[in-house]
Structure 1
Amino acid sequence: MKKLLLPLTILLFFGLVVSSCSSDDVLQRENNEQPNIVKRNNEKAREAGIRLLESFGMTKTRSLSTSDYPDYYGGSYINGNGKLVVFLKGEIESTKATLIRLIGENDVIYTQGNYSYTELNNVLTKITSFISSNKDSQIAKNIRYYYLNDFENCVVVELDKSNEMEIKEFKSEVVNFSGIVFKQCTREFQNHSLSPGSSIGTPKGTASMGYRATRFNTDGFVTAGHAYNTGDPAYYNNTLIGSCDFSIQGGSVDAAFISITNFSIVPNNGNLTGEEYNIWAGDNVTKLGETIAQSEGYITSTNANVNADGIYYTDMGEATYLSAFGDSGGPVYLTDSKKVIGIHKGSTAFTSIFVKVDNIASKLNAHFN
């Protein structure tokens, strides 16, 4: 089953009225401008989030699917005070009392939401299914970007043409859901991989190493799928170090596994400590790359979907760290725990996009090592 990951935030809490739902405060920033990052210890909020997931049935060996989330749960995020904010749909008091008994209230804020987490993710799935079945239609081509707004309990759909007629056609042909906020898409998506001087050489140019991994007992590393085709050679400092065993572009993955054949060059994971599948909007993250060596930001969406040069990507993560050409494939990790949550894919005009590590593990069969 496909894993769905919860959200949390570093922004101040926004209003819950869906008609006013907007991610402008999060997104209106050129991607080469450093955001104002306030580092906080989100560990207690994250622990509360894990307890919440466990109350829904998650275990160390079992992830949650869409149907596992209760109807009253509307999603969650970390606010500016390091608290876990949990949206509750419907009558809030009895549900709140139940959750307080299960996970406590010291590090948790319970608030009213309009839609369930399952409803919101099902809407994203319906949009993805429509695009997959109608790739040549003008309606599908008009859908540029769509994502879960974890902070405001709604879905945002950005259209190439966002006028009354186009929105009416979308509602008629794709999905008509009151929790969708339509916006004019002003961003251009760019894959970041082909700048000269990056440490990992590809037949297409250059990219960044992600993290050391094992695939079917073969040692190597993960990087960006759009940088390599299956079978391509891989270079480090102009020296052949291996080849691409498997590359995927599309759906929830843009990743490649490079197996090492030159054993005089051994990749390492530096200070990275492992993988983390559970992520929350608002959590602090860091990206490493060859062009912009290190940049910090915070997660702005746990389910972003984008049409990048005619290839549709789903269930991506979105964050505010800086990125540039050559950074594709670099690791994105939780700043405090240094656990990898994905690899950098590219950027829009305002934010950066990363491929989630759990999707890499399940689709590429490559695991942090």
Structure 2
Amino acid sequence: METKSILLKIFYMTPIIGLILLASCDNDRSHKADDNEGITKEELQAKARIAGKEGRELLQIIEKKPGTRSSGSAYPDYFGGIYLDENFDIVLVIVDDNPEKFRSMAEEKVKRVNLHLQKGDFSLNELEKIQEKLDDFFRNSAPKSIKDNLISAGIEVQANRISVEFIDISPDKINEFKKAFMDSPAIIFKQGTGPFIDLANVNSGSGIKPPGLNNGSVGYRARNSSNQIGIVSSGHLFTMVGQGAYINNVHVGQVANRQNSGTVDAAFIRITNSNYIPTNVVEGTGQILIAVTHPFEGEPATLRDINGAYRGIVLDVNAGATGTGGVYIRDLIQIVKYV
């Protein structure tokens, strides 16, 4: 089965929208269906939904449990993360010589799918601190030769490491990175392929575009601080405040605010055409966007746009990559896409 690695922007507290990056890649975890022979597609989907729900409930317990925590950290120091394995079983990574002593705590919420405990070397707190420094490095001080070599960089819970994907992973390139940033056993290097291609048209909605450019997609209905009704689309597609927005060659609105940096790749488009009423119905499905969840590594993902649907498996929930114009965007979700 051919797969593609996708990086997509998630705005926490808002639905999925924004920067989509593609690169060809192979990954054993893209073949979950092949590892579940005898289970129907519907049963597999149901199991994945249950695992995701119970995993998020387990995470809530861990966040609230007392325990040793580094100053300002969200999680106990023993917590290395949660992911779903190839069978959609929940795997809890524990930084302790005896992970099994945490089983009873985890089984308070994990009841309908299998639970596995994996010994880790680094807490999620430690990895997140390194990731923050790495994001800052790529945004502000990384040499051009390193930035141009980057495919993605983010926390890989299954490996319990920061995974950095380079186009060229020769010893010279790896050493250049280590000297410029840091040499840490918490960082691993992988071969990636590139360059990434920005896609402005992979959002859940109908087509929308600036004058003279290709279609992007409507992300979701929104209202700004001035109580103006509009929609959100991609900041790398709509590049200027005041820029017009067109649907089927009809002028529907203007860009009121936009940003394409840091964690944000978005444009708020104020609707000025009274004949156009934005909704939160997902294009081509009749379904309504009503909730947002934070996915786990290993969880199934579907992204729908004006061209169809993209389905795959989440590989990384905290990645960074360089997008349009060399802008480094962080807090991306990376998935393996089935083609």
Q: TM-score, normalised by structure 1?
A: 0.69
Change beyond 3 A, Cα 1:75–1:254: same
Q: CA deviation at 1:167?
A: 1.6
Match of 2:304 among 288, 303, 321: 288
Corresponding residue number in structure 2 for 1:307: 322
Can you list the C-alpha shifts for 1:12-57, whole angstroms capped at 9, x where unaligned?
xxxxxxxxxx9743579xxxxxxxx954222332232222222234
Correspondences of 1:8-19 after superposition (within 5 Å): none
Corresponding residue number in structure 2 for 1:199: 207
Corresponding residue number in structure 2 for 1:46: 52
Stretches of structure 2 lacking an aligned partner (at least 5 in a row): 1-10, 14-24, 32-39, 65-70, 282-286
Alignment of 1:82 with 2:85, yes or no, is: no
For residues 106 and 275 of structure 1, what CA distance do their matches in structure 2 show? 23
Alignment of 1:25 with 2:5, yes or no, is: no
Q: CA RMSD in A?
A: 3.2
For residues 283 and 94 of structure 1, what CA distance do their matches in structure 2 show? 24
Change beyond 3 A, Cα 1:180–1:27: farther
Stretches of structure 1 lacking an aligned partner (at least 5 in a row): 6-21, 29-36, 59-64, 323-349, 351-369
In terms of mean alpha carbon deviation, does 71-80 or 85-94 score higher? 85-94
Corresponding residue number in structure 2 for 1:129: 136
For residues 94 and 103 of structure 2, what CA distance do their matches in structure 1 show? 12
Correspondences of 1:81-120 after superposition (within 5 Å): 81-93=87-99, 95-97=101-103, 99-100=105-106, 102-104=108-110, 106-107=112-113, 108-120=115-127
Match of 2:184 among 155, 161, 177: 177
Specify the SS of the correspondent of 2:45. Answer: coil
Match of 2:247 among 221, 236, 239: 236
Specify the SS of the correspondent of 2:273. Answer: coil
Q: TM-score, normalised by structure 2?
A: 0.75
Tell me the percent identity.
Answer: 26
Aligned length: 289
For residues 296 and 53 of structure 2, what CA distance do their matches in structure 1 show? 11
Greater length-normalized contact order (CA 8 Å, ≥ 6 residues apart):
2
Q: CA deviation at 1:190?
A: 0.8
Q: CA deviation at 1:72?
A: 1.0
Correspondences of 1:63-78 after superposition (within 5 Å): 67-78=73-84
Q: CA deviation at 1:228?
A: 0.3
Q: Answer whether contact 1:243 1:258 (CA < 8 A) is retained.
A: yes
Q: CA deviation at 1:121?
A: 2.0
Q: CA deviation at 1:211?
A: 1.6
For residues 277 and 66 of structure 1, what CA distance do their matches in structure 2 show? 24
Q: Answer whether contact 1:72 1:95 (CA < 8 A) is retained.
A: no
Change beyond 3 A, Cα 1:143–1:320: closer
Match of 2:266 among 229, 235, 255: 255
